[in-house]
Amino acid sequence: MTDNAVLEEPHFSTVAATVPRWLDRVPLYQRLSPAPSAADFAARFRALPIITKRDIREGFPQNFLTPGTELDQLLDGDLVELERTSGTSEEPTPLLLGRGWWNRQEEIALRLNPLVNRALTPTARRATIVSPVCSGDICYSGVPSLADRTVGNALYLNISRHPFFWTQASLDRMAQEIVDWDPTFLDIDPVYGVLLALYLEREGIRLRNLKFIISSYEHLSAAHKRVLQRVFHVPVLNLYGSTETGHLLMEDEAGRMLPSLPTAFLEIVRPDAAGIGDLVVTTLSNDFMPLIRYGIGDLARATTTPEGTTWFELHGRGRDAIVNQAGRRVTVTQLDQALAGWTEIVHYQLRQQAKSAFTLYYVPEASTPATRPPAETTARLAALYPGTAIEYRAADHIPCESSGKFRLCLPLEKA
């Protein structure tokens, strides 16, 4: 999908009705935006530069505060929350979010899936298993109690960002808490969710009323999904977004990632021959920090059906893609698709050691001997990375980033 094709979509009318006031009043865009002219809005929009986290950080929060607005007044009036990104891809970025905005936009995205929409009743309970974070709802400081980690209908289970090193006592505690909580659904980072799932499977523990699992926070691999479906026997659904943009895409019953139209307008720019390009986001529902043509850092491909429905295929972070010896970019999703037939692993990480030398670290199923991947998998990897030597190493753990998140692919750092 090209820029022009995106701009012709009916949804762009919402952008045209919403964005001009931000271009004219928000200091960041007054500086970056071309001056209004006789050209139509689409031409002006197309001429806007793509902004980054650096643009958010520089001059924050004055770069977003419109004339006559003071941050202290917004905070005193309980109109906004000050948050920040996790810092996985670069230094943490401060954010200005409308009070209650996060929960509203999340619910809109979740309800794109009919199963989830039916299950999200006022009494639906959520159990969250992710890297510990500090947000408007919960802040981990020291060792929070069960009461500290219970916010409304949500229970936050984990208090450590190193799940491969959870102690027996921590696993026992989480298992007991999640059984007692009896959640309607799980909200998980896939690696954290998989490691708790394997423990529950070993102990023969079942969640009686679980309806579905929402996977977010980072890339859901085929290995992660396979384990979660085997242990919990419920649909595992992908929810995609970021702290700064809100939730952008939700998986439907057909496995398609559908856009949350009230939340944002999405573009695919600089697509390659396969149609995979950079995902660019214009947010539509956060008046306090609107992001216009924001490069979120991820790769995606868009498809529009004959009926006019546009859905997206996620391809992981751009910084995690590797250009192979043939000069073709290989995305995280393309790597994961090559590994999907290797059913004896629960997690992995491909590290590029040199231009033509990789090491694939993998965590095998506990009941499976540490072996090389099947021939079909090695053939697929050889086709993705021609002329490259790949070493396979079994591991009992794979380290996370300082943010607590995990990367499935580590290219050589650019000099």
Give 219-258 pLDDT, tens digit per residue: 999 999 999 999 999 999 999 999 999 999 999 999 999 9
| CATH code for position 129 | 3.40.50.980
306 lies in the same domain as 367: no
Check whether residue 125 and residue 169 sit in a common domain.
yes
pLDDT digits (tens, 9 = 90+) for 279-310: 999 999 999 999 999 999 999 999 988 888 89
Does residue 171 lie within any of the structural domains? yes
pLDDT score at 402: 84
Question: pLDDT category, 10, cuts 50, 70, 90?
Answer: low
Per-residue pLDDT at 91: 76
Among residues 273, 292, 315, which one ends one of the domains?
A: 315
* Inside any domain, residue 93: no
In this structure, is residue 79 part of a structural domain? no
Containing domain of residue 229, as a range?
104-240
What three-state secondary structure class fits 156? strand
Q: Based on the fold, state whether residues 117 and 226 are members of the same structural domain.
A: yes
Residues 6+ apart with CB under 8 A from 8: none
Residue at 258 is within a domain: no
Model confidence at 1, pLDDT cuts 50, 70, 90, reads very low
Average pLDDT over residues 178-199: 97
pLDDT of residue 92: 82
Q: Is residue 299 part of a domain?
A: yes
Q: What is the b/e burial string over 290-300, where b = at least 16 CB atoms within 10 angstroms of the residue's CB? A: bbbbbbbbbbb
Comparing CA positions, the residue from 126, 99, 101, 121 lying closest to residue 111 is: 121
Closest to 138 (Cα-Cα) out of 187, 185, 172? 187
- Count how many domains the chain has: 3
- Whole-number pLDDT of residue 338: 98
Shared-domain flag, residues 277 and 226: no
In a domain, 64, yes or no: no
Asked whether residue 39 carries a pLDDT value surpassing 70, the answer given is no
CATH number, domain at 381?
A: 3.30.300.30
The answer on 205 and 273 residing in a single domain is no
In a domain, 109, yes or no: yes
The pLDDT, as a whole number, for residue 9 is 65
Residues 150 and 275 in one domain: no
Q: What is the pLDDT of residues 56-104, one digit of tens each?
A: 999 999 999 999 999 999 999 999 999 888 765 567 899 999 999 999 9
Q: Are residues 235 and 356 in the same domain?
A: no
Residues 291 and 360 placed together within one structural domain of the fold: no
Asked whether residue 2 carries a pLDDT value surpassing 50, the answer given is no
> Does 163 reside within a domain?
yes
pLDDT value, residue 413: 77
Torsion (CA) 23, 25, 29, 32 in degrees, nearest 10? 90
* Secondary structure (DSSP) of 325-358: TTS-EE-HHHHHHHHTT-TTEEEEEEEEEETTEE
What's the confidence (pLDDT) of residue 226?
98
pLDDT tier at 140 (50, 70, 90 boundaries)?
low
Has residue 190 got a pLDDT over 50?
yes
DSSP per residue, 116-149: HHHH--TT--EEEESS--B-SS-B--SS--TTTT
Amino acid at 189: D
Residue 323 has pLDDT above 60, yes or no: yes
Tell me, yes or no, whether 199 and 129 share the same domain: yes
Are 308 and 325 members of one domain? no
Query: What average pLDDT does the segment 25-32 reach?
Result: 93
State whether 307 and 325 are in the same domain: no
Q: Which pLDDT score is estimated for 133?
A: 58
> How many Å apart are CA 18 and CA 15, to the nearest integer?
5
CA atoms within 13 A on the CB side of 260: 29
- Considering the domain architecture, whether residues 399 and 350 belong to the same structural domain is answered as yes
